[in-house]
Amino acid sequence: MEIVYLLVPLSLVLVFLIGAVFFWAVRRGQYDDLEGPAHRILMDDDRTGSG
Amino acid sequence: MDTVVLNAAASAAVPAQTECYHCGLLLPHDAHFVVAIDGVEHALCCAGCQAVARTIVEHGLTSYYRHRSALPSREETVPQTVRDLAAYAVPEVERALSRDAGGNAREAALMLEGITCAACVWLIEQRLQNMPGVLGVDINYATHRAQVRWDARRTRLAAILEAVMAIGYRAHPYDSARAEQARRSERDRALWRLFVAGFGMMQVMMYLVPVYLTDGEMSPDIEQLMRIASLILTLPVVLFSAAPFFAGAWRDARARHLGMDVPIALGIGTAFAASVVATVAGSGQVYFDSVTMFVFLLLAARFLEMTARTRAVITQEQLAQQAPAVAERFAEWPASDLAEMVSVSRLRVGDHVRVRPGAAVPADGMVVGGASEIDESLLTGESRPLPKRAGDDLTGGSLNVGNPLVMRVTRVGADTALAGILRLLDRAAGDKPRIARVADRVAQNFVLALLVIAAVVAVVWHQLDPSRALWVTVAVLVVSCPCALSLATPAALAAATGALHAHGVLITRGDALENLARATHFVFDKTGTLTTGAMQLIGVTPLAGNIRERTRAECLALAAALEAGSGHPLAHALIAAAPASVRHRCTECKHFAGSGVEAVVGNTRLRLGAPGFVAELCGQPLPRELATVAHDVTAVMLGDEQGWVALFTFTDPLRPHARTVVRQLAQLGKHVHLLSGDRPEIVRHIARELGIAAAHGGATPRDKLDYVRRLQLDGAIVAMVGDGVNDAAGLAAAQVSIAMGSGADIACSASDVILLSGRLDALLAAVRTARAALRVIRQNLAWAFAYNLVAIPLAACGYVTPLIAGAGMAASSMLVVANALRLLRRAPPRTTPVSATVTVAVN
């Protein structure tokens, strides 16, 4: 059971890490438009300008 | 002819095209507009679609047609002329609408109209990115907003807007972003608190569940490790997520007021502190899981309540945003039609302003040129656009959906109807209704009683079982939050007010909803309330003069010519009825106030107006026909120097829905009265037609006041419905006053409820919603009392752990808030008949 002494602190570190990543993602507006990018990937931009 | 041949060739491969390739409307038979895409010609319905489609093809953006999942909306296929955009090219305006983004770069937020599917977003983005000078485009599909950055040396804002318009969308700078910013940041903070509490709750559970499951078999070291881990995770929940509760409790304590935050803060604080002590001491129970879950569920209930409030005020915000920031002012109207862009705050009364199609009217005013349709739905709830032409009033903030208009500004700034509405809404928001004050007072007493009970429980349990005393006390504090009292009543009132605003009913006082729901007597005014107040022509009788008898059309044409410049309601009716083909020009036009008008048409001198006034000119006794006119109509005569020409009869027609409203109010058990200053025989006639038993005519304002007072002495709760101007005294005396509002009068109205749409049936919606709101509040209060009656004794007896207490209390708050939210669903569907037909055509 000694592994618990490692895993519990590790999980704590992970929790705060994930929290920080999520905070960053929201701040950067990653969740602002959930629908647009899904459609955007279907459009082939390279045809642009070729007519 | 080429076109036809090509179309025939194309139809061999594809089924015959009957709809426009671009917009999907049915093709007119004589249409000959085409666009070639990848070598195949497609037929289009109009020049507008052709221009848009060709622009798309020219810029190599044809994948739009392959990927789109919805057809473009109808209006935007009409391309705006490039000249329209010159307005935005003025450097001063461009600076006002965009901000510096470093170096020569500028940035602006654009509102895009006409986006129907994701392909539209792609199309606009591609078009703009290919423009020289555009540094970056970022379009949000969800909000239809775009952030555009450009190099000020290489391109202009106007050019960007033009490019968007050329491919069939409407773009305009979005300058009310700041107003929304505050609401968004409040919501973001609330979400963050909720997220941290939820995340903390789940992790704490993960550490503590093994402790419960192993039931003491866990080695003390590991158990202590779990406790410390939970403590670390609970820390941000208590310090960050629960901060509003502590702040609220501190505020209450300083104001010597017992709010609902006090027991919550006490519960959280005690439980957390005791658990920390137990962890440090290494003995005793810890309840970090209860603390985190309690905070999370409470925040969730609060968030729900906040959403309700936001949705209720959203119409108000839309209203505030409706007022445009810039206007197009004519420098020297009517000498030249040169217009300059100025900020709306610089408009003055008397200025002439152009209102473009799709633009909002910048201030209150009058149409002086052009004819168009105006959408006032945000102001009045009326979804149908109203026709406006020269001489008609315009309300600032309404939307021009037809043709360009020229208007003269009559009111600006704080004097406008829009500003008046916003002021009234603010007043309503600041005015705490009686029912909410009662709920507050009850909640305060409740908290006091709760604290006393908690103290008693603590003392008693200390005697019985000191080890459990603390946690039983915490459970009592937590389980019995008075949220149903303090949260749910304001939420219900806000939701009802918001729903009514969508019906075009403005609630301007907090008590209005409650009084409206309880009203027993509805006293109606006649003119302008049950009737439209606009005269309608019902009869034209040509009279045999000395020379000859004219036809009805001739009589009308003459009358219309005489009234051409008049703003009188009778004049509107006459002009509307006159044949458009004949236009007489009159000279020497003279108006006699209160009697009529005299003018020369051709070489005949004519008079139009009251019988006595016209008789002076024609020198003949009043004709027999006048005696046959019924008592409830208004008669107007036309005569020349030789004799009588015609008799016109007018009536004031009933408002649509007047009958339904009276009948349904009676069905709801309300007494309906009719009280008017008009002639008794007219009032009796109207009352008979509507089925109102209690009708009184010839009433002076003093009589109206006495009448309302007499009803109130008999214990009636009186709702007075008037036009807000003629019956101010009666309106003020009634418990709830309801005014038919339109444009100008709104700003100065003192009524509790204003029917902005001018539709009587909105009154029914108001009464029904008010009753529903009262019902919901009663349900919530009943639930709160029943819940506490069961929960507090159980907790005091030690049957409830802090964990269950937190869950029970939060579930109870959630229930009452959700119940209040049901009121929001009472808003009417906002589909216009116009868009309905478009949908049919597209399908």
Could you read off the pLDDT of B802-829 as tens digits, one per residue? 778 878 887 888 888 888 888 877 655 4
CB contact under 8 A, A11 and B229: yes
DSSP code at position B69:
S
* Beta pairing partners, B291: none
Please give the Cα distance from B674 to B540 (Å, whole number): 30
In this prediction, residues B724-751 reach a mean pLDDT of: 69
First-to-last C-alpha distance (Å) of chain A: 68
* B213-242 average pLDDT score: 87
Percentages (nearest 5) of helix, strand, coil residues in chain A: 65, 0, 35
pLDDT in tens, A1-51: 788 889 889 999 998 999 899 889 888 877 777 777 777 777 766 554 433
Element (H, E) at B486: helix B483-486
pLDDT tens-digit map of B415-450: 777 777 777 766 666 666 777 778 777 878 888 888
Tell me, what's the pLDDT at B840?
32
CA-nearest residue to A32 within chain B is: B140
B201 touches chain A (CB under 8 A): no
Average pLDDT in the B43-47 region?
81
Confidence of residue B483 (pLDDT cuts 50, 70, 90): low
> Does residue B524 have a pLDDT over 50?
yes
Tell which of B62, B64, B65, B122 to mutate to test the A interface (max A CBs under 10 Å): B122
- Identify the pLDDT of residue B80: 43
Mutation for testing the B interface, residue in A40, A41, A45 having most B CBs under 10 Å: A40
Whether residue B654 lies within 8 A of chain A, CB to CB, comes out as no
Partner-chain contact A39 B121, CB within 8 Å: yes
β partners of residue B506:
B754
Q: Mean of the pLDDT values across residues B183-202? A: 85
- Let me know: does B144 contact B111? Beta carbons within 8 Å: yes
Q: What is the pLDDT of residues B556-599, one digit of tens each?
A: 888 888 877 666 667 777 777 777 766 677 777 777 766 778 88
Whether residue B142 and residue A5 make contact (CB cut-off 8 A), yes or no, is no
pLDDT in tens, B58-76: 888 888 887 787 777 654 4
Backbone phi and psi for residue B100, each to the nearest 5 degrees, phi listed first:
-70, 130
What is the rounded average pLDDT of the residues B189-200? 90
pLDDT at B365 over 60: yes
Taking an 8 Å cut-off on Cβ atoms, the answer to whether A36 and B139 are in contact is yes
Whether B177 contacts chain A with CB within 8 A: no
Query: Are the beta carbons of A1 and B222 separated by less than 8 Å?
Result: yes
- The answer to whether B831 and B15 are in contact (CB under 8 A) is no
Distance from CA of B196 to the nearest CA of A (A): 8
Could you say which residues from 390 to 449 on chain B have a Cβ atom under 8 Å away from some Cβ of chain A?
A: none
Who among A34, A44, A45 is closest to B142 (CB)?
A: A34
Q: Is B141 on the interface with A (CB under 8 A)?
A: yes
CA–CA gap between residue B433 and residue B497 (Å, rounded): 12
Q: How far is A44 from chain B (nearest CA, A)?
A: 8
Question: pLDDT digits over B658-688, tens only?
Answer: 888 999 999 988 999 998 877 787 788 888 8
Q: Is there a contact between B821 and B3 (Cβ–Cβ < 8 Å)?
A: no
Active site residue B38: no
Nearest CA distance, A15 vs chain B (angstrom): 8
**C-alpha to C-alpha distances, B451 to B297, B454, B468, B795, B810, nearest whole angstrom:** 22, 5, 18, 14, 19
What pLDDT is stored for residue B654 in this prediction?
84
Q: Is pLDDT larger for residue B194 or for residue B527?
A: B194
Q: Who contacts B240 (Cβ-Cβ below 8 Å, separation ≥6)?
A: B192, B193, B196
Task: Characterize the bridge pairing of strands B521-524 and B718-722.
Answer: parallel
The yes-or-no verdict on residue B516 having pLDDT over 70 is yes
Strands B644-651 and B33-37: unpaired
pLDDT digits (tens, 9 = 90+) for B749-778: 667 888 877 788 889 989 999 999 999 988
CA atoms within 13 A on the CB side of B502: 19
Contact state of B63 with A47 under an 8 Å Cβ cutoff: yes
Residues of B in contact with A14 (CB under 8 A): none
Mean pLDDT score, B209-218: 77
pLDDT of residue A13: 93
Q: Is residue B239 predicted with pLDDT exceeding 90?
A: yes
- From the candidates B261, B525, B652, B678, give the one annotated as an active-site residue: B525
Please state at what angle helix B658-667 crosses helix B680-690, rounded to 10 degrees: 70
For all residues of chain B together, what is the average pLDDT?
78
- Using CB atoms, which residue from A19, A38, A48 is nearest to B130? A48
DSSP characters for B244-312?
HHHHHHHHHHHTT---THHHHHHHHHHHHHHHHHHHHHT-S---HHHHHHHHHHHHHHHHHHHHHHHHH
Using alpha carbons, list the distances in angstroms from residue B236 to B291, B683, B825.
12, 71, 37
Find the CB nearest A47 among B57, B60, B140.
B60
Minimal-distance CA residue of chain A relative to B230: A12
In angstroms, the Cα distances linking B281 to B227, B270, B274 are 11, 16, 10
Chain A residues inside the 8 Å CB shell of B199 = 15, 19
Measure Cα distances from A33 to A28, B17, B58, B64, B176 in Å.
Answer: 12, 36, 29, 20, 20
Are B413 and B345 in contact, with CB atoms under 8 Å apart?
yes
Residue of B nearest to A15 (CA): B203
Give φ, ψ of B33 to 5 degrees. Answer: -100, 135
- Tokens linked to B183: 């609401």
Best CA proximity match to B233, nearest among A26, A6, A9 = A9
Amino acid residing at B495: A
Q: Is the CB of A44 less than 8 angstroms away from the CB of B63? A: yes
Query: So what's the pLDDT on residue B481?
Result: 67
